[in-house]
Structure 1
């Protein structure tokens, strides 16, 4: 779904796919045009409509542009079908400004048409519910009575106490008096008021707060000043820095790079597409003790061929693999990497791989029925395993 261009024919081939997961991915594909994406507004699957309302989620899709993901009429149709989708659209950077100004003047969101405001009796019931999640939701409600807030502040559930501790009216001392905990790897529900406020004073209070949850929440705020971003770049909490990088184009190259190197998430590679990330100069990481830092050197267009060649002999497979497809490698080294199972896949994409070798891969793949002999895998990138070559077929490698 990350192809750079979608023809109408390619899009039409998937828009009615029987698997709703495919259609959901299509709804958030990066380079689909707004008009193409709008073809999905009548989709029968709720998750597809949710994906449309949220918009593209990849960093490649650039949170930094003002291009709408859908035409205004398509957003309006989504709200006609499911008014609750407003809760998703309000946080989407893709909603056109004209529609945003109409729906949320002054950024004060109105309740969806089919969801009346929670009344006092319902709030009281939620605050006493047996379900921890329901009590956590009530704990974040601004209209909750003070005595119920005080009771939930000592709730037996850590999640409920955490929700109370992030209420906007509390001072730092009051927050510290609550027994809450936020660990480095804990995923928390952000404080909505901190993610949306345009008030610089309130933003500053959150940026300086000792409460990690508030700093994580305000890092998601799209209206931060340059000074606020600079302060959060030096935050001790990794998640604060990660959220900041994911949502702000003004974060420095150094912060994006260091956050990438500190990350252990499967989506860390998206940070390399941040608009502040600089490829030139990465060659200086060649001597880093961190193999993931050394693996970035190949992205430097000014890195010398001799340096790429040297890193292709690195003791760590991830570093060797990063260089295997690079055209700055010598043809002989490409062949060596192709013969190594740990780097064969990347080396197969190298333009210096000899044409006869490429043909051998394709010939063996065509010869092998379904990639197996007697039901067992027997070939990978042109290599037959042991004596499992069939009696007739290609020459192999």
Structure 2
């Protein structure tokens, strides 16, 4: 891989004539960068698609190529990409359904708006993977038919399809009204009873880890129920029985359902597995009384997940802040707090509560400034990124709290250039702070040169436009390929150097 040319392909300042030269010598890696260029002309897109087949797929997905630009006989993957995006020609589907490669037929089966005759052919495909892919994306009527398919893998896909009618999803869960499945991927390839070794050494084996079948296709049936639990179209009446299912994974999925009935939620609150109770705690469907029960639950992650519930009462949340480690993150309930609630939270005696409030980026100036002068470093770390803070306030934070807050101050998008230079030049550098300065829009060349002393920050700083051009050129020979690509992609790289780096076609 030529990392210099890959970087140049993504360089937004690369002149149009050099883009043409780069297309002429592009390989698959270089084409990846070229295909994402915002300034790529239609002619350049066509030239790139003709040179590198994979780029035609990427350009098709991005809408840079149309159906008139693609020959489905020679650019099959690009034709599939356009069909998947809903902008291909339907007559292509009739051509591609005869494709001998099952993986490509499966890709076709996932495309929207397929003609009815093509869907019927795919539904009768000899490869179950193709039928399963169709079942995952097809219309309600065909999904209902495929629910009776003899292969459990197809039924599993039907259970995941949100277009599947609710009554059919209920039948898949209970098995009532459907003939038993006859096969699954496990018994297709192994003598039953069989349990797949999670550490299977066979390189050609594609069975899922732990897949099993003793004649009832149990692992696939388990996956079917799991998919139905994720499916919002599945009626909750068919799912509540899973509260007593032996699988903790399925009970976890049930606990997270937004339509969970109160009586089922109460049963799950007594589940012996903490993970089930944790999923339940974050579910906005549970009521305040159950939240208060879970607030006292010391099971692993229950209290932390309850703190992330968007409907948790603030008094419970304040108690959780004192009882469990939540971390500095914007909680949904804090984000939706009313102006009166925000005022109350800002005056909380618990610094963790003030820290959580400080994660908001829409605080009134009065409250923002109050928190900016908070004596607790946790609060300062959270408020340091808030817009509107004056340079004097940011400097005060650094002077008072030192290395504990430097990285957060450096990450504030409004931190001025002079302060960024101070953070890198007048204090012991903090690695995380250097990385933040390296990507900061206000970073100066002087600050960026300090960032180059840290390997991780160096990879970021090499692409910063404020870096001196002579330094960018030097970085093209760096031992780290990520630094090389970043330097080559730097828009401040002199155009004359860019031209020297791209070989002429007769040299390539």
Normalising by the smaller structure, the TM-score range is 0.3 to 0.5
Q: TM-score, normalised by structure 2?
A: 0.36
Rg bigger for which structure? 2
Q: TM-score, normalised by structure 1?
A: 0.44
Query: Relative contact order (alpha carbons < 8 A, sep ≥ 6): 1 or 2 greater?
Result: 2
Structure (1/2) with the larger helix percentage: 2
